[in-house]
Amino acid sequence: MARTQAQTPAPKRDQIKGSKTNPKGSASGKRGGIEISESVERGLQAMVDKHNDRYKAKSKKVDLGSLKAVFRRGAGAFSVSHRPGMTRNQWAYARVKAFLKLVGTGERKESYNTDLDLLPNGHPQKTEAKSEAALLAPKKYSHIDFKPPQGARKAAERALRRRAQKPQSQRGMTPVGIARARDLINGVTLSPETVRRMLAYFTRHEVDKQGSTWESYGKGRQAWDGWGGDAGFTWARKVVDQMNAADKKATLRSYGEAVQLSERPSYDVPEGLTIGKPFKTLALGQVSSRMSGEAIGSPVSEELLKEMVRVYRERRDADPVIIDWQHATSPFNGGTPAPPESGNALGMIVDLELREDGLYAVPAYNERGLKVVQDAGGVLWSSPEYLHGEIFTRDGGEKVGDAQLLAITLTPRPAQSHSKIDRVTLSEREQMMDFENMSPDELKAALAAKDAMVKELEQKIKDMSEEAEASLAGELEAEEMAEESKPESEEMAEEPKAEKLGYDKDKERKMSEEVKLSETAAPNLLAEVMQLRAQNQKLSERLEVIETEKREVERREAVSSLLREGKVAPAEQSAAERAWDVRENMPEFWKMFSERPASSAVPLAEIGHGASGEELNKATLAEKVKALAAEKNLSFSEALVAFRESNPDQYNSVFN
């Protein structure tokens, strides 16, 4: 692919690296001690004044130090590549203008990410730049150096130099390869994904060394060195091995089950609030009314969500996003907003994250919010309240953006499809009950709680139906009485007015649906009841399995005790087990075995006991395996395999 004019390599006379006036590293920050001519400094100061007069927000203010750093970086970049016909100062000024546009409007080319560290504090993309730098290497890779070695940097520099010396037809490297070479030359710290791509490239193209143009520095050799050459290949392989080892350490395994550890980010949480499980609150796509089928507002697009995140991060201190219950504190709920003493606030949102499938919110709950979410038992969703259009500050009237998230309400009946957004829970443990590891008492308690929720929801449905029927009957009765008492002429006169009022009410209903994104139709409650009943069925089935296993263990232990004491012979074992099963209805049958004198049926040595009188069962075998594990410094599973190999008869006698 052909390069752009701006990617034209600089002539040798312009390939300058640093100077005595501005040594290497002087543009690494706003206070780098950069020295420039008086005329350039006056020009930059004029740009600072003009920009700050236009933008009043602190997050959009610039100072002379930041522009000097950008100017210095632009002048340095001129030594690598620039558009033909431009001078060094023109190239540097162009970069300053691009920086000012980024500060003021947030707009930039995707490739322009080298000055994000110079953005003002509070600027949303400065936060993004910090997070990008922090996320280049997750915590599990903190011990790995992702900065390319000197050998890879020299190879990349050699590739661009030799490529520029070739005729156009003999120049290799794609735009991606050229960009990678520049990153290597500048010593940019690479992301784990980039290093993996480097290794994949080297692995695929190692055969290019056998090509006929390798020695003459053909296209394959140019591309190879552009990605770091042999030194880059060796380094990428080492780093990927280190990452793979770190990935394995981040995984715990127990009896064949693997639990992946995930990094939990830290948030600035106000005192008295507790972080909850993040949830998806807005899915991409159109939301429609279940009652009319009509669209509610505009489709939720990625651009809309990006703007919400940007405005939230810029205004989170001035305009915090509150969590409430059923839009109780909303000024758009058709009535007077609930007063603060009503206690409807459940917490606040401490971060927003845009993912490929929608907008995710990180909640922090107060004590009441924690109780509401916990008591809901997973039958709870979120309903966001937001503005889409020009948004202005309340303290000065300055425009801050084109979309703003105002609040998130918790509700069992969201307007969005339940399958498109997440349930609101305190944690994964709250969301998914671990039936397999719950005791019978815990299962019974959970079953009782779910039964109570079903009854409560069923009563709520009944109350809603009765209330709706009574309200409808009252309205019909009032309309009939009004119709009977109204003169014919008055009916004709008021007909257009009634039509207009009907239109306004319909418009008001649509606006309310768009802002609240929550509806109160009873069918959702029925769906919740069905869901709870399904959960109860699973609980009951698991409880039945546990009770059956418990009875089998108790029966086996009771009969084994009789065998150890010599009260029953091995031939009587099945009869004794049946007697134990019916002991509550036929106690005399069980007493026939249990009340025999010890050793009355058979000597102990004849039923498989050793000299110590110890029977080999699952419990005693487990103790032997634990002892072997401690002696050999093995895990339990490794010790169990070793015991089975060295004592097959004992193992088979226990496990049939």
Q: State the pTM of this model.
A: 0.32
User: Does residue 277 carry a pLDDT above 70?
Assistant: yes
Note the pLDDT of residue 391: 87
Note the pLDDT of residue 473: 53
Q: How many helices (H) and strands (E) does the chain have?
A: 20, 9
Note the pLDDT of residue 228: 95
* Position 135 confidence tier, pLDDT thresholds 50, 70, 90: very low
> Of all residues in the chain, what percent carry a pLDDT higher than 70?
66
Query: Can you tell me which residue has the tokens 């009634």?
Result: 498
Least reliable range by pLDDT among 161-165, 197-201, 258-262, 301-305: 258-262
Domain spans of the chain?
Answer: 5-135, 150-249, 274-433
Give the model confidence (pLDDT) of 13-33 as tens digits.
Answer: 555 555 545 555 444 444 445
Q: What is the mean pLDDT of the chain?
A: 75
> Of all residues in the chain, what percent carry a pLDDT higher than 90?
22
* Position 431 confidence tier, pLDDT thresholds 50, 70, 90: very low
Least reliable range by pLDDT among 99-108, 152-161, 570-579: 570-579
Most confidently predicted of 5-14, 29-38, 241-250: 241-250
User: Does residue 3 carry a pLDDT above 90?
Assistant: no
Q: Let me know the angle formed at the C-alpha of 188 by 183 and 189, rounded to the nearest 5 degrees.
A: 130
User: Does residue 470 carry a pLDDT above 70?
Assistant: no
User: Does residue 104 carry a pLDDT above 50?
Assistant: yes
Least reliable range by pLDDT among 137-141, 267-271, 281-285, 499-503: 499-503
**Average pLDDT of the residues in 184-193:** 89
Note the pLDDT of residue 641: 82
Q: How many CB atoms lie within 10 A of CB 403?
A: 21
User: Does residue 178 carry a pLDDT above 70?
Assistant: yes
Helix (H, G, I), strand (E, B) or coil at 30: coil
User: Does residue 112 carry a pLDDT above 90?
Assistant: no
User: Does residue 460 carry a pLDDT above 70?
Assistant: no
Q: CA torsion 635→636→640→646, rounded to 10°?
A: 50
Most confidently predicted of 221-235, 268-282, 374-388, 592-606: 221-235
**Average pLDDT of the residues in 251-261:** 33
* Position 624 confidence tier, pLDDT thresholds 50, 70, 90: confident
User: Does residue 155 carry a pLDDT above 80?
Assistant: yes
User: Does residue 492 carry a pLDDT above 60?
Assistant: no
- Report whether 102 contacts 58 (CB < 8 A): no
Give the model confidence (pLDDT) of 36-53 as tens digits.
Answer: 888 899 999 999 999 999
Helix (H, G, I), strand (E, B) or coil at 388: strand
DSSP letter assigned to residue 208: G
What one-character-per-residue DSSP string does 101-153 give?
A: HHHHH----TT--TTGGGSPTT-HHHHHHHHHHHHTS-GGGTTS--SPPHHHH
Least reliable range by pLDDT among 280-294, 467-481, 571-585: 467-481
Q: At what angle do helices 219-226 and 175-185 cross, to 10 degrees?
A: 40
Most confidently predicted of 80-89, 233-242, 482-491: 233-242
DSSP letter assigned to residue 355: E
**Average pLDDT of the residues in 205-231:** 93
Note the pLDDT of residue 630: 86
Residues 6+ apart with CB under 8 A from 249: 140
Question: Which region holds residue 434: left if phi is over 0, alpha if psi is between -120 and 50, else beta?
Answer: beta
DSSP letter assigned to residue 57: S
**Average pLDDT of the residues in 301-329:** 87
* Position 262 confidence tier, pLDDT thresholds 50, 70, 90: very low
* Position 483 confidence tier, pLDDT thresholds 50, 70, 90: very low
Report residue 212 as tokens. Answer: 């006929």
Does residue 50 or residue 129 have the better pLDDT? 50
Does residue 608 or residue 40 have the better pLDDT? 40
Does residue 392 or residue 468 have the better pLDDT? 392
**Average pLDDT of the residues in 389-405:** 86
Beta strands in 322-377 (DSSP E): 322-325, 347-355, 358-365
Least reliable range by pLDDT among 246-255, 344-353, 438-447: 246-255
User: Does residue 99 carry a pLDDT above 90?
Assistant: yes
Pairing status of strand 274-275 against strand 257-260: unpaired
Note the pLDDT of residue 486: 43
**Average pLDDT of the residues in 331-358:** 71
- Report whether 611 contacts 601 (CB < 8 A): no
